[in-house]
Chains A and B, each alone.
Chain A
Amino acid sequence: MSPQTFIEEADLHALVDGELDSERRRKVEDHLLQHPEDAALVEGWRRQNAALRAAFEPVALEMLPLSMRDAATRVPAQQQGPIETGAIHWGRPGASRPAQRLDELRANRRRQAIFSTALTLLTGAALAGLAALVFAGRGETPHSPVAALLTQSYAARAGLTYATFVSDARPVEIDISRRGELVAWLQERVGFSRPPDLADLGLRLVGGRVSPGVAAPAGFLVYERADGARVGLYFERAEATGAPQAPRVGQGVVEVEWRAAGFAFVLVGPLSPEDMQAAAERAATAVAAPADANH
């Protein structure tokens, strides 16, 4: 065929492996230009080389196990046991006989690690529990408005509403002088419109507003005592019913929560817990009374 018929497979390998002098190399390359099937072979071997290097080069870049650093220069101790390589190859279980001893060592170490982890966690949990006990023993835990928002209970929402509006220059949206308007508004938005009369407890109704509730629009009525102390009545549509619960004291105000007529009521104010409880009882009876009692 061509004058280069004496090019054989060994020459192709030698080309890939850089074993040819420049003259011979040029001849082989010319041969490849005319014989694409041979060129494909050479290309395939170069790919093999690249794949081999890609697969195993990372091993050469790993940090050398300690015991290997001076293996050639160190005088080995007589008959030492299985060689501890220093590197812990977690992911590649050892396979040989001597490696089994290593695996035992590693299993031991893993057990120790698990044990100490568990011990640490337990100690931490115990400490946390102790701290919780100590802090809970201190009584009232200061809760920020953000925390109150996050808890999303009616009482917390009522407390936030109270804190927002009662100290405001304009605590109510609609004054009691426009009672008809207020009642119609609350009836339409909140669904409940019979402001309990707490006058005989010294609490005069100032007015009310619609405010954001936990899950629906809520109503908020403000009462005022002669000395200027203000009490808020928060109500929002809710499912369960129940009698007034024990007053909850926090941040200088008392909150009494109860459920009635499909609503959750929360009475919030700075009065003493007993006064708040009494006001809540009165309000609860007023709310539970037939619809025409207040109209």
Chain B
Amino acid sequence: MGKKADILEGLSGAAPALRRYARALCAGAGAALSDDLVQSALQSVGARVRAKELRLADLDEARVEAYGALTALAAKRLADAPRPAPRHPPIVHGLAELSFDDRAALLLVSLEGFGYDAAARIVAAPRETLLARLMRARAALGSEGLRPAGAEAGARRAASHLRIVK
């Protein structure tokens, strides 16, 4: 019992990373929506643990569960999400162009740093499927307009509101 409480407590510490993932997964569809998703995911994991539907061995497993719940929720809720506004940086537009599955795979591995096995468990797909999605996402996102972080802060700032229109 005490261990379960500890794990849930530790899961709250993962909330900032979950928010980051949710914001990226929503790709410009709104901060309110993405925060809503994080909260629902955390609550559903907590509820399932309390109801003894879910037995968590350690915090890593809890994180995988939380990301999984978040991804499943987002898949349902993002069906009719709006497009990102022109003020969003190009990377957000690039993300919005990807299919939901490809986007989730890319973000879990690239942004959240999950290994392939963990990421595959989160999206509830075989490892090969995850890899295929990741490759597709990376190929589609390309590298034009994406500058390495910190290399040219000024250029990045400028790029965040300037967009090539033709």
Is A250 located at the chain interface by the 8 A CB criterion?
A: no
Contact (Cβ within 8 A) A55 B24? yes
Known: A57-B20, A72-B42, A85-B36. A17 touches B109 (CB 8 A): yes
Cβ-based interface call for A165 (8 A): no
Contact A95 B146 (CB under 8 A): no
- Mostly, the A contact residues are helix
A71 touches B43 (CB 8 A): yes
Of the listed stretches A44-52, A109-117, A194-202, A253-261, chain B binds A44-52
A83 near B33 with CB under 8 A, answer no
Chain B binding surface SS class: helix
Which residues of B12-60 have CB atoms within 8 Å of chain A's CB atoms?
A: 12, 15-17, 19-21, 23-24, 29-33, 35-36, 38-40, 42-43, 45-47, 50
Check if A9 is an interface residue, CB within 8 A of chain B.
Answer: yes
Q: In the complex, which of the residues B23, B39, B138, B146 contacts A67, with contact meaning CB atoms closer than 8 Å? A: B39
- Interface residues on chain A, number (Cβ under 8 Å): 50
10 further A-B contacts with Cβ under 8 Å, apart from A48-B110, A92-B32, are A45-B110, A48-B106, A52-B110, A53-B111, A55-B89, A71-B15, A72-B12, A73-B9, A87-B31, A96-B36
- Residues of chain A with a CB closer than 8 A to B109's CB: 17
Closest to B137 in A: A48
Residue of B nearest to A9 (CB): B135
Identify the closest chain A residue to B47 (Cβ). Answer: A76
Minimal beta-carbon separation of A199 from chain B (angstroms): 78
In the complex the two chains form, what is the Cα distance from A44 to B142 in whole Å? 7
Chain B residues, Cβ within 8 Å of A92? 30-32
Q: How far is the CA of A68 from the CA of B19 in the complex (A)?
A: 10
Contact between A54 and B149, CB atoms less than 8 A apart: yes
- List of B residues within 8 angstroms of A64 by Cβ: 15-16, 19
Report if B125 contacts A (CB, 8 A). no
Task: Write the nearest CB–CB distance from B89 to chain A, whole angstroms.
Answer: 6
Give bound CA distance, A102 to B32, whole Å: 8
CB of A182 to closest CB in B, whole Å? 67
Cα A52 to Cα B15 in complex, Å, equals 18
Q: What is the CA–CA distance of A47 and B33 in the complex, to the nearest angstrom? A: 28
